[in-house]
Each structure stands twice: as structure tokens, then as C-alpha cells.
Structure 1
Amino acid sequence: MREIVMDTETTGLDPYDGHRIVEIGGVELIGHMPTGRTYHQYINPKRSMPKEAFDVHGISEEFLADKPLFEDIAQEFLDFCGDATLVIHNASFDMKFLNAELEWCKKPLLPMDQALDTLAIARRRFPGSPASLDALCRRFGIDNSNRELHGALLDSEILADVYLELIGGRQPGLVLDGAQQVTKVSGDTDSWRPEPRPNPLPSRLSEKEKAAHAAFVETLGEDALWAKS
């Protein structure tokens, strides 16, 4: 199963108020495992960048001036997505912008049922709890210290880790062979193979819990299975 964990950055909140996409980032998963293949593109929005958007993204009009227009990258973007499930946090927002841009350049729209909303998943799993990307990173112990400004590719990479935790980590794939590596042959997506998580998530056991476990094992005697290294 192929999925693209995706994020967009925009000049504002509504494309039909004249706002545009300025950045798209995507991370490919196969069988719930990152393949190492990504998509990243800055886009010239053909409009001024509001100060509040610059404050959030840190992207200036000058930086975007020589970047391609959305219509110039639309087909490449659609080719990358293919029929993969699009995993997006607050999917209705990003899909509205993406489909507005695709409509304006007369390209096929992305069906809403192609998107999987991690915000909705988080709200179902943790009702009443904060469900922002930052809040979910804190819940799952995922390092987002580099997220001082919003960036589409960085946010996609972080969301990929969050998504895998929301669906139960890497258990669905039951990947037990640590020798699997990323491979690409002739640009064929099916030739990609998943790789292990590069940095293990930190242990959720406290030092107090570890000490209590060690003390309990000592009471079982030297022949106890847990006492053997």
C-alpha cells in the first residue's frame, strides 16, 4: 500500500479569497514504512506575501520570485501522487487549496476520498485532548525541535512519524528483517523497499519504573528467565 504524507504552506486561509500555495512537501510510505522518497517544491504564488504568512513560514516574496508557478509543476505533482492515499493533517484545508490550484490550471482534481485526515484520527483516539501536530509530537515523544517555522517537507516528515504512532507504530507491516534497505531501480516506485526507523523513539519507561522492575526480578531467584542476560 502506497501513501504520501503531505503538507502545504499557503499565503492565507482560503484560495477563493485570492490566497495561493507557496510550498508542497510529501513523504512516501509503502506498507506504512518510509521509503526515503520525498517531494518538495516552492511555488511562486503570483501575489504578495501577507506579513502574517511570512511570520508563520519565514518565506519571503523575494525568495519565491524565481520559483515556478503551480501550473508549471502541476503534472509532476500529480504524477508523484498517483493513486496513493494522501495522509494530511486537517486534510480539508490542504485539499481545498490543492484542488483550487488544479482547477485553475485545468488539471484533474484530487478526490476527497483519496485523503486520510490524521487530525480526525487523533480526535477519535484522544477525544477532548489537543490534536495539533505539536501536541501529538509531545504525546508520542517525537522530536520537533527544528519546527520553529512551518515548512511543508519538515512538517510532512514529522507527520509521518505521528501518523505511524496513531495507527500503532510499525506493527502493521511486521517488519522483522533489519537488512531491508531503500532501493530504486529505473525510477520504478514498486522497486522501493522500506528501511528501518533511523532513530529509535525514546523509551517511555521512567527510571523509577526500571528500578521497580529490577527489584521485582531479584525476588524471582537466579533461575528466573528475566534474570538471565
Structure 2
Amino acid sequence: MADKKPINPILKLTLEIGPIAAFFIAYLRLRDQVFTIGGTEYDGFVLATAGFIPLILVTTGILWALTGHISKMQVATAVLVVVFGGLTVWLNDDRFFKMKPTIIYALFAGVLGAGLLRGQSYLQFVMEEVMPMQRVGWMILTRRLAFFFAALAVLNEVIWRTMSTDMWVNFKTFGLTIAIFGFFMTQGALIQKYGIEEEKDDQG
């Protein structure tokens, strides 16, 4: 397996957040317009989605080229973008793309939940090098994150089915990002309690 290569954090963040920001800007510019292509009318949302698909593939490819590694989460996200984004464009139906976050978060919740049923924290396998912590801490954090992802899946379903497209785009662009950031910010006490860095300090 190829070793991970260092990458500038700002560049990494740009590559990860860039496609979402580009989708949001494209939607704002195109949302009130209708385009006829090949005799079929497409609204701005569908065209913004069509542009998002290759962009997420390009940025994911650049991340892989620069770091020699992409996470399973990034791979799953890219695959689901291609599948559901492609269905949105092919069938000219925005519902498929709006369902994508539901599938992603339900999948993450299911994977984490399956690991918990086996007495394992799959989250620990992914993040242990970045955030060393005792096993009991990983189990608690994984349980909380599984429930959190399940809640996001339900929330996405409620919003896209009951609210306007504008509301859903704002939720996807800002709401989900803020929610995930906020979740990890609120786990500080847990990480501090079960973090193993203090043990290293005691030995110094």
C-alpha cells in the first residue's frame, strides 16, 4: 500500500470543499433559468448537478495523485455522486440527487452500527493515527456518530421532501457542514477524557 504523502491543509480543504461551493454558486446563478438541450428542457439545478459530477471526480483524483491515498468515505461519496447525480441528469429529475445525502449518511450509520454490533469501532481503524484514544472512548464516539449520521439521513429526507429546493441547497451547503463541525466540537470532553496523549506526557 502506498504511503500517504503530505499535502498543504489549505489545498486539501479547497479540494474537498471546492466542488460543494462550486455547485452552490452554479445553482444560484442558474436556478431561475431553463435550458433546452437536445430538445429536452433542463432547469438550473439539473445543470449544476451535471457540472458537479465531473468536478468531484477531478478533485478526488487530484487528492489521490497528491497524497497517494483517498479514504473509503471519499470513494463512497464519489460513487454515489456519479450514480445519483447521473440519474438526476439522465432522467431530468432532481429527486435522485437530493436523496444522495440520505443514502450516504444512512450507509455510514449502518457501517458504524454493524461494527458496534461486532464489538468493534470502525471509526478507530480510520482515525486512530490522527486522534489517539482509548478503546472505550472510540466505542462511545462511534456510537454517538452512528446515531448522528442516522439523524442527518432522516433530516435530509424531511427537508428535501417538505421544503423548497432553495432551502435544501442551503441545508446541503451550509447546514450539513455546520452540523458535522458542531458535532465534533461537542466531543472535546470525550476526547480529552479518553485521549492517550496524557500518558505520554507523564512518561516524559
Scaled by the length of structure 2, the TM-score of the pair is 0.32
Pair member with larger Rg: 1
Scaled by the length of structure 1, the TM-score of the pair is 0.29
Larger strand proportion of the pair: 1
Larger helix proportion of the pair: 2
Higher relative contact order, chain-length normalized (CA < 8 Å, sep 6+): 1
